[in-house]
Amino acid sequence: MSSGRIFSELMREINEGRFVFTGELEPEKTTDLTEVIEAAEALKRYVVACNVTDGPGAYAYMSSLVASHILQRETGVEMIYQLVCRDRNTIGLFADLLGAGALGIRNILALTGDHPSVGDIPDAKPVFDLDSAQLTYMIRKMVDEGIDLYGNPIHKPPKFHVGVAANPNADPLEPEILKLGRKVEVGAEFIQTQVVFDIDVAKSFLNEVNRFNIPVLIGIFPMKSYGVANFFDKNIPGVPVPAELLENLKKAKGLDKQVRYQKYDEINLELFVPFIKELKKTSAAGCHVMAVGYERIVPKLFEAANE
């Protein structure tokens, strides 16, 4: 950590050498967070913090800042506020970060963001005043020096830890590592990765990034149905779902409801329990479990992986 100070439980546990789990929450096109609060409560015993997505896939959803505050206040679970550069200029990003600091948010995931053309309001104008590395640099300036990008002082600067994203599946991997190096150089304090299905891919990535000496949480995506898996496989570039996993989920699709749900759970546990157990033997600091809408799998996954 570039500041040498610890502000959040997430970074405290990582700093103490614990293998941590983080979860993911997705406020959608609504003003009612009841279901998301219930999801956070379901994850509470198993994760140290939860990401709150910011217009994922360029979809127009509830403000991640507002959702992060409400979820943290209502559940007591520490949040990782995702902030994308797509929708705000530097002033807007800075203003939201000051707001996050005032609301007691302590973890930020700095993201560039998907282009609006892939979302549900495709004609929206993209901003991209900054990219994720520049946003990371601005956050570190705020926290470490108490100034904005132009040297203007901040009264009572916020206290954040800033993380960044990476894709271990990138082919070739070298440009991804170079981009990541730029983010680390300007002050990134932890990495959460895109979904990984293959433990060998995770290990190769970890070997490449060990040079940066920064905590890495490898992302996994338990899939609650064949429909989810098929959509992900067709629409998320660069992260193919393994053919065998797709086929197994497809076979389970035709079963009766209760049996189908049980089979989906079995398929996911069969893949991800050995994955996590093997991951614990590596330099990974933890695992980021993206089980949005599938929180029921997390207790089973956690308990089996910790046997």
- CATH number of the domain enclosing 216: 3.20.20.220
Phi and psi at residue 84, in whole multiples of 5°?
Answer: -105, 150
For residue 23, tell me if it sits in a domain: yes
User: Please, how many CA atoms are within 13 Å of residue 53, restricted to the half-sphere of its CB?
Assistant: 20
CA pair distance 97, 142, nearest whole angstrom: 9
For residue 246, tell me if it sits in a domain: no
- DSSP for the chain, written as a single string: --S----SHHHHHHHTT--EEEEEE---S-S--HHHHHHHHHHTTT-SEEEE-SSGGG---S-HHHHHHHHHHHH--EEEEEEESSS--HHHHHHHHHHHHHTT--EEEEE----GGGSSSTTSPP--SS-HHHHHHHHHIIIIISB-TT--B-SS----EEEEEE-TT-SSSHHHHHHHHHHHHTT--EEEEEE---HHHHHHHHHHHGGG---EEEEE---SSHHHHHHHHHHSTT-PPPHHHHHHHHHHHTS-HHHHHHHHHHHHHHHHHHHHHHHTTSS--EEEE--TT-TTHHHHHHHHHT-
For each of the chain's 307 residues, which pLDDT tens digit applies? Answer: 445 699 999 999 999 999 999 999 999 999 999 999 999 999 999 999 999 999 999 999 999 999 999 999 999 999 999 999 999 999 999 999 999 999 999 999 999 999 999 999 999 999 999 999 999 999 999 999 999 999 999 999 999 999 999 999 999 999 999 999 999 999 999 999 999 999 999 999 999 999 999 999 999 999 999 999 999 999 887 888 999 999 999 999 989 988 999 999 999 999 999 999 999 999 999 999 999 999 999 999 999 999 8
For residue 254, tell me if it sits in a domain: no
β-pairing, 190-195 with 216-220? parallel
Closest Cα partner for 67 from 30, 115, 21?
A: 30
Instruction: Please say whether the beta carbons of 143 and 196 come within 8 A.
Output: no
pLDDT score for 2:
46
pLDDT score for 117:
97
Residue 146: CB atoms within 10 A of its CB come to: 14
For residue 117, tell me if it sits in a domain: yes
How many domains is the chain built from? 1
For residue 267, tell me if it sits in a domain: no
CA pair distance 38, 102, nearest whole angstrom: 25
pLDDT score for 235:
85
CA dihedral 54, 56, 58, 59 (to 10 degrees): -90
278, two tokens: 């093997």
For residue 1, tell me if it sits in a domain: no
281, two tokens: 């033997």
CA pair distance 52, 82, nearest whole angstrom: 6
pLDDT score for 135:
98
Residues near 120 by Cβ (< 8 Å), separated by ≥ 6? Answer: 58, 59, 60
For residue 245, tell me if it sits in a domain: no
For residue 46, tell me if it sits in a domain: yes
Domain of residue 285, residue span: 9-240+273-305
Please name every residue paired with 190 in a beta bridge, in sequence order, or none if there are none. Answer: 163
